[in-house]
Amino acid sequence: MLVNEKIAIEHGLKSDEYKKICKLLKRTPNITELGIFSAMWNEHCSYKSSRIHLKKLHTKGKKVIQGPGENAGVIDIEDGDALVFKIESHNHPSFIEPYQGAATGVGGIMRDVFTMGARPIANLNSIHFGSTQHKKTKNLLRGVVHGIGGYGNCMGVPTIAGQTSFDRSYNGNILVNAMTLGLVKKDKIFYSKAAGLNKPVIYVGSKTGRDGIHGASMASASFDEKIEEKKPTVQVGDPFTEKLLLEACLELMSGDSIIAIQDMGAAGLTSSSIEMASKGNLGIEINLNKVPCRESKMTPYEIMLSESQERMLIVLENGKEEIAKKIFDKWNLDFAVIGKTTNTKNIELFFDNKQVANIPVNTLVENSPMYDRKWKKSKLPKKNKINKTIFKSLKIKDTLKKILSSPNVCSKEWIWQQYDHTVMGDTIQKPGGDSGVVRVHKTDKAIAATVDSSATYCWAHPPTGGKQVVCETWRNLISVGAKPIAVTNCLNFGSPEKEENMGEFVECVQGISEACKYLDYPVVSGNVSFYNETKDIGIKPTPTIGGVGLIKDYKKMITMNFKEIDNIVLVIGKTEGHIDQSLLSRIILNENNGPPPEVNLFNEKNNGLTLLNLIEKNFIKSAHDVSLGGIITAISKMCIKGNKGVQIKKPKFLINEIEYFFAEDQGRYLIEINPNDLKEVSKILDKNSVHYDEIGKIIDKEMIIDQKTKLTIDELKSYNTNWLKRYMV
């Protein structure tokens, strides 16, 4: 087929991008070459709209072994151990085909982690759906949850935490972000940089089929009414083969055969081979007849663009082919030597003894387009003038009931009970807590991990929202007694070609970077997902942050359930009564305007580190961060989990009761301490200038606010646990 501008545009390239290709090649590309360019230059693979801004992220730190740019980030967790982790989006495919879309999202991120030599030890996910009234929501939720479980459960990796939200803005574009943590010895990390000439390039794993062709291009465009036609671009997952691939790769990695390894994810064989060559500043030669194919008569174009799952590309040391083949044979996986490294710095493809593509690697990578797109600066919205008399008409009990049973606050047990969260025998904090916690096998250490996003805050004011999400994950880690170390981010936005969406992206990234820098909590990996829009309507900006922390002695881990009657409950951090953008404002007052709560990074850091100090001294019996729904929602969850009640003191502040209980001011936690420790704890808090209020004490099975407002724990439980189960019936 002869290539022209029209065909290039059908491949998702822009007219000037096509011209650039012709200029770089000094000729017209053939169809295979055009396919390769379109795969490498799309937004998903090239980060052409985001690269310039991602450079500003805070990515350095003492604990960082590998920052962004590899298959996943790596941090030092002491004693020669390293933690490999990353989050990635699979939004577009999951909307088209929820089961396979979500399943292959989980499969892809696990591959990114074990490609680096790490055994996956935990999965997390952040999933966002449209309004609960929308006709697609239920089926999408069911499909996505089945898909995540179907893949992760079969792999035998526990899913230890996650986040689920519902918002109208996801009606036409759901979000599925999957995160994996893996464990590796510091001196056994594998990278994707090829090295050495004439080294065998081997292909292992599943056979190549016609599934997922143009998957990455599909994920680089918006949706319209013809979306059903895109189903063939969704890959089909085979977790069983991935489990075999995992074991086979780790077995091969225990020796010294591998020079470089790269999984075939987005844009399959194309991006994996080019990435390895580019990093090694080498050329690569592939004989496409050697690629194991599932279907007959596949063309070079199809082989190069297939996104069939569960495949890896490896550059081996010379003479190690037999050793490697034996291992992959044992695990019943395909193994083929398909090419070699060369000094041409070109990617050269052969098929039926003919050269079918010859492209300089740097034209695909370094010379790929990079745009400094126009973006619009946001303004901090004016504070809402809420008529305070309205608070008088609200009853705490009714309001709390509505909030506890609202889709975004209610218990997500229906979801996480479908995920195996206990396999591998090291899960010491299950889903439903502030963070999931897994022990580092056979040691006293544990890793805490959490994933969060706050689209509403980001939508109201992107820079504040960006900061807030980072802080929220920081608090989630502190609440279980973990020292936060680093984050991974998944940046889900609308079209970068729209100034407003681009502005949201730029400013959220600024906020994230500022918070990460201040908290010494660097970004080590991540991905960007643009074009989350359908028929011109984009999602609310949703940067998702996955935070990771270390607990040196897992016996010191903290949980949120109230422990003992007569213990005292303190609120750490100051309550100012910020109601705008709170759940109260949105679902009770039906008010969507106003600024998000302010984020004070000094207080975040100071409050968090002081709490860690108190935990280290064994003063804290239970802890929970205050987020959506404010103090009263947080305290309700501690009651529910601990099956204990609380006698709440009247607030002695100028703000009214409703504001005090439901405000979403940042930097706050609830902690339980023994009354005998109060003096000592107060001393430490005062010394560190941490604001705190004594809010009440733990009693048996009832939440008592005043003589009129009493709730039993069973009532609280029923509000919180039933909504989702009933919705999904």
Partner 1 sequence: MKSSVITFPGSNCDRDMDVALTKFGFKNKMVWHNDQELPKSDLIVLPGGFSYGDYLRCGSMASKSKIMNSVINFAKSGGLVMGICNGFQILVESGLVPGVLLRNKYLQFICKNVHVKVDNKENTFFKNLDKKILEFHIAHNEGNYFCTNDQLKEIEDNNQIAIYYCDQNGNTNDQINPNGSIKNIAGIFNKEKNVLGMMPHPERMIDESLSGEDGSIFFKNLLNNIK
Task: Tell me the catalytic residues.
Answer: 44, 90
CB within 8 Å of 41: residues ≥ 6 apart: 13, 17, 48, 364, 368, 369
| Residue 421 binding partner 1, by CB under 8 A | yes
| Residue 427 binding partner 1, by CB under 8 A | yes
Among 387, 389, 425, 708, the residue binding partner 1 under the rule CB under 8 A is 425
For residues 54 and 509, what is the distance between their CA atoms, to the nearest angstrom? Answer: 7
Q: Residue 168: count other Cβ atoms within 10 Å of its Cβ.
A: 14
For residues 448 and 435, what is the distance between their CA atoms, to the nearest angstrom? Answer: 6
Q: How far is CA 375 from CA 50, 51, 228, 368, 469, in A?
A: 12, 14, 32, 21, 22
Which range, of 214-222, 413-421, 515-523, 603-611, touches partner 1 by CB under 8 A? 413-421
| Residue 308 binding partner 1, by CB under 8 A | no
Q: Which residue type is seen at 114?
A: F
Which range, of 40-48, 123-131, 185-193, 415-423, touches partner 1 by CB under 8 A? 415-423
Half-sphere exposure of 456 (CA within 13 A, CB side): 23
For residues 85 and 180, what is the distance between their CA atoms, to the nearest angstrom? Answer: 6
User: Which one, 63 or 243, has the nearer CB to partner 1?
Assistant: 243
For residues 727 and 408, what is the distance between their CA atoms, to the nearest angstrom? Answer: 13
Integer Rg of the chain from CA? 26
Bridge partners of residue 350, in order along the sequence: 287, 355
Contacts to partner 1 from residues 502-521, by CB under 8 A? none
Q: How many residues does the chain have?
A: 729
**CB-based contact 334:205 (threshold 8 Å):** yes
Least separation in angstroms between CB 613 and partner 1:
23
Of 475, 412, 490, 335, give the one whose Cα is nearest residue 166.
412
What the block records as the tokens of 45 is: 């693979």
Which range, of 275-283, 414-422, 623-631, 682-690, touches partner 1 by CB under 8 A? 414-422
Bridge partners of residue 347, in order along the sequence: 284, 359
Per-residue contact track with partner 1, 434 to 463, x per CB under 8 A? -----x------------------------
Least separation in angstroms between CB 240 and partner 1:
3
User: Which one, 183 or 218, has the nearer CB to partner 1?
Assistant: 183
User: Which one, 140 or 523, has the nearer CB to partner 1?
Assistant: 140
Which range, of 194-202, 236-244, 341-349, 678-686, touches partner 1 by CB under 8 A? 236-244
| Residue 726 binding partner 1, by CB under 8 A | no
| Residue 293 binding partner 1, by CB under 8 A | no
Contacts to partner 1 from residues 137-196, by CB under 8 A? 146, 149-150, 153-156
User: Which one, 370 or 728, has the nearer CB to partner 1?
Assistant: 728
User: Which one, 373 or 439, has the nearer CB to partner 1?
Assistant: 439
User: Which one, 173 or 427, has the nearer CB to partner 1?
Assistant: 427
Of 243, 235, 245, 218, give the one whose Cα is nearest residue 313.
245
Least separation in angstroms between CB 430 and partner 1:
8
Of 5, 43, 92, give the one whose Cα is nearest residue 539.
92
What the block records as the tokens of 92 is: 């577009």
For residues 192 and 220, what is the distance between their CA atoms, to the nearest angstrom? Answer: 24
Least separation in angstroms between CB 664 and partner 1:
32
Which range, of 109-117, 122-130, 232-240, 380-388, touches partner 1 by CB under 8 A? 232-240
| Residue 423 binding partner 1, by CB under 8 A | yes
- Starting at the edge strand that comes first in sequence, how are the strands of the sheet with 446-452 ordered? 427-429, 436-439, 446-452, 542-551, 483-492, 523-529
User: Which one, 241 or 271, has the nearer CB to partner 1?
Assistant: 241
User: Which one, 150 or 526, has the nearer CB to partner 1?
Assistant: 150
Among 198, 422, 618, 676, the residue binding partner 1 under the rule CB under 8 A is 422
Which range, of 91-99, 165-173, 422-430, 584-592, touches partner 1 by CB under 8 A? 422-430
User: Which one, 427 or 633, has the nearer CB to partner 1?
Assistant: 427
For residues 443 and 578, what is the distance between their CA atoms, to the nearest angstrom? Answer: 43
Least separation in angstroms between CB 607 and partner 1:
27
By CB under 8 A, how many residues form the interface with partner 1? Answer: 31
Least separation in angstroms between CB 415 and partner 1:
10
Report phi then psi at 265, rounded to 5: -105, -125
Among 129, 191, 203, 331, the residue binding partner 1 under the rule CB under 8 A is 331
Among 85, 419, 531, 723, the residue binding partner 1 under the rule CB under 8 A is 419
Among 418, 443, 606, 682, the residue binding partner 1 under the rule CB under 8 A is 418
CB within 8 Å of 15: residues ≥ 6 apart: 5, 8, 9
Least separation in angstroms between CB 158 and partner 1:
9
User: For the chain, what is the largest distance between any 2 Cα atoms, rounded to a whole number of angstroms?
Assistant: 87
| Residue 424 binding partner 1, by CB under 8 A | yes
Among 75, 428, 646, 671, the residue binding partner 1 under the rule CB under 8 A is 428
What is the number of helices (H) and of strands (E) in the chain?
26, 28
Contacts to partner 1 from residues 520-559, by CB under 8 A? 554-555
Least separation in angstroms between CB 137 and partner 1:
18
Which range, of 206-214, 364-372, 423-431, 592-600, touches partner 1 by CB under 8 A? 423-431
Q: Residue written as tokens 């909590």?
A: 521
Exposed, middle or buried, 332 (CB in 10 Å: 0-12/13-18/19+)? exposed
Q: Residue 62: count other Cβ atoms within 10 Å of its Cβ.
A: 9
Contacts to partner 1 from residues 332-371, by CB under 8 A? 332
3-class DSSP string for 392-415: HCCCHHHHHHHHHCCCCCCCCHHH
* Helix ranges restricted to H, 11-80: 15-25, 31-41, 43-46, 51-54
Least separation in angstroms between CB 86 and partner 1:
22
Least separation in angstroms between CB 553 and partner 1:
11
**CB-based contact 353:554 (threshold 8 Å):** no
User: Which one, 117 or 149, has the nearer CB to partner 1?
Assistant: 149
Say whether 223 sits in a helix, a strand or coil.
Answer: strand
As a dihedral over the C-alpha atoms of residue 626, residue 628, residue 629, residue 630, rounded to 10 degrees, the angle is 20
Which range, of 5-13, 354-362, 425-433, 593-601, touches partner 1 by CB under 8 A? 425-433
Least separation in angstroms between CB 656 and partner 1:
41
Contacts to partner 1 from residues 239-258, by CB under 8 A? 239-241, 243-244
User: Which one, 120 or 608, has the nearer CB to partner 1?
Assistant: 120
User: Which one, 244 or 623, has the nearer CB to partner 1?
Assistant: 244
Least separation in angstroms between CB 243 and partner 1:
6
Residues in touch with partner 1 (CB under 8 A): 146, 149-150, 153-156, 238-241, 243-244, 331-332, 416-425, 427-428, 430, 439, 554-555
